[in-house]
Amino acid sequence: MKKLFLILTFTFLFASTVFGQTNDPLALGNPSNAGTELNLPGNYLVIHKGFTLSYNKERGAANWVAWHLQKSDIGKTERTNAFAPDTTLPVEWRILPTDYSGSGYDRGHMCPSKDRSDTEYNNQQTFLMSNMQPQAPKLNQQTWKYLEDYTRELVGQGNEAYVYAGCYGDKGKLSNKITIPTGCFKVIVVLPEGDNELKRIDKTTRIIAVDMPNDESVSRRWRTYLTTVDEIEKKTNYDFLSNVSKKIQKAVESIKDQSTEQLPQKNETNVPAKKNASKEREYQLGPRGGCYYLTESGAKKYVDKKHCSEVKDSTAQPAVREKKEPEPKDNEPKKENEPTEPESKPAEKPVSKDGRTYIKGSRGGCYYINSSGKKIYVDRGLCN
């Protein structure tokens, strides 16, 4: 055992020296200093293969979920829809997939399904209920999703990303268990692919921070909700990027992402609702001039008329299409099955992953040894 441990340690040290790479979702910091003691029910650290979170028993959801995204995470595995309770939590803390039933709120992923589509196992993990928040359907299926799509586009263009996502506020409970948040935030640190991320973060590092309302009034355009990390820190009391020097934090956390604001303000109204795009609604003009779409059950749902002007304004389409903006259009969601990066192979045996060496215990548990020499038990999948 000891020998194996040494071999693993050396393998890791070698790998990290040569590649300098750590995909630990918390490489940039643990925003709320979450810990693995069970007497921390409001800030309990859960490490899954693929993402790490701070669980809040009282909310029945995570305070935040953190993950690292790189090209190889995105593959061809279809959504497994494997909604399941998170069994790494004590039984009485767990949320069941049915706890959201009939509530009118979506089970909104924090770490998106598609961000873990390299293997079936990794995709299943994203369906753990600890990775879900009650999100208004329009937020989950449109605004929030378009930013998820955009992040994957950035990764497809040669970047990697560290992402923190969470929800805050309280407007009631689902099933007497799950707090319905008033808003959800996201902090996305974008870096060109490479090693030693922590050393590469400087005053010019791009950070996309958004804060979105959790209701149907939300605009489809995620850029409406750009904000600064400072603002989100003030609101949530978390400290993002705490492993980065104070000086650099001070610089990057006060900047609202600008690079997208040079775009003409056309986005929201000129792009037609796409036919057949999965989950994209098709707005229809009603006989009396109202604007509606058909819900899954076939009922007409009337919405703001501006949605229909997108469909009507067909003359604007070719002009928009031809213009070929260098900036990806976040509001034209990609079809789910569009081929992504061909080189995305499943990761090698993740025994030493995320900067840690995971060890299979004698009773089948999986753990790593933290800096104070303590065994920290984690999701068993990490040892596979």
Let me know: does 174 contact 100? Beta carbons within 8 Å: yes
Residue (110 or 382) nearer to Mn ion, CB: 110
159 binds Mn ion (CB under 5 A): no
Site string for Mn ion, 131-150 (x = CB under 5 A): ---------x----------
- The 10 Å Cβ neighbour count of residue 106 is 18
Judged by CB under 5 A, the chain residues 38 through 57 that form the site for Mn ion are none
Report how far residue 104's alpha carbon sits from residue 369's, in angstroms, rounded to the nearest whole number.
43
Q: Determine the residue type at 369.
A: I
249 binds Mn ion (CB under 5 A): yes
The minimum distance between CB 139 and Mn ion, in angstroms, equals 9
Report how far residue 179's alpha carbon sits from residue 175's, in angstroms, rounded to the nearest whole number.
9
Report how far residue 79's alpha carbon sits from residue 50's, in angstroms, rounded to the nearest whole number.
15
As given in the structure block, the two tokens for residue 109 are 């992923």
Let me know: does 320 contact 345? Beta carbons within 8 Å: no
The minimum distance between CB 29 and Mn ion, in angstroms, equals 7
151 binds Mn ion (CB under 5 A): no
CA distances from 257 to 210, 265, 323 (A): 9, 16, 23
The minimum distance between CB 145 and Mn ion, in angstroms, equals 6
109 binds Mn ion (CB under 5 A): yes
Residue (168 or 240) nearer to Mn ion, CB: 240
31 binds Mn ion (CB under 5 A): no
Q: Binding residue for Mn ion (CB under 5 A) from 108, 134, 333, 350?
A: 108
How many residues contact Mn ion, by CB under 5 A? 7
**Radius of gyration, CA atoms only, the chain:** 21
Alpha-carbon torsion angle 301, 304, 305, 307, nearest 10: -80
The minimum distance between CB 38 and Mn ion, in angstroms, equals 27
48 a catalytic residue: no
181 binds Mn ion (CB under 5 A): no
333 binds Mn ion (CB under 5 A): no
- Which ranges constitute the DSSP H helices of 133-195? 137-138, 144-156
Report how far residue 131's alpha carbon sits from residue 123's, in angstroms, rounded to the nearest whole number.
12
Residue (109 or 281) nearer to Mn ion, CB: 109
Q: Where does residue 169 fall: left (phi above 0), alpha (psi -120 to 50 degrees), or beta otherwise? A: left
Residue (245 or 370) nearer to Mn ion, CB: 245
Burial 41-58 (b: 16+ CB within 10 A, else e): eebbbbbbbbbbbbbbbe
Residue (185 or 240) nearer to Mn ion, CB: 240
Judged by CB under 5 A, the chain residues 220 through 239 that form the site for Mn ion are 239
Residue (57 or 109) nearer to Mn ion, CB: 109
Q: Binding residue for Mn ion (CB under 5 A) from 129, 187, 189, 241?
A: 241
The minimum distance between CB 307 and Mn ion, in angstroms, equals 20
Residues that bind Mn ion (CB under 5 A): 108-109, 140, 239-241, 249
Which positions are annotated as active-site residues?
A: 109
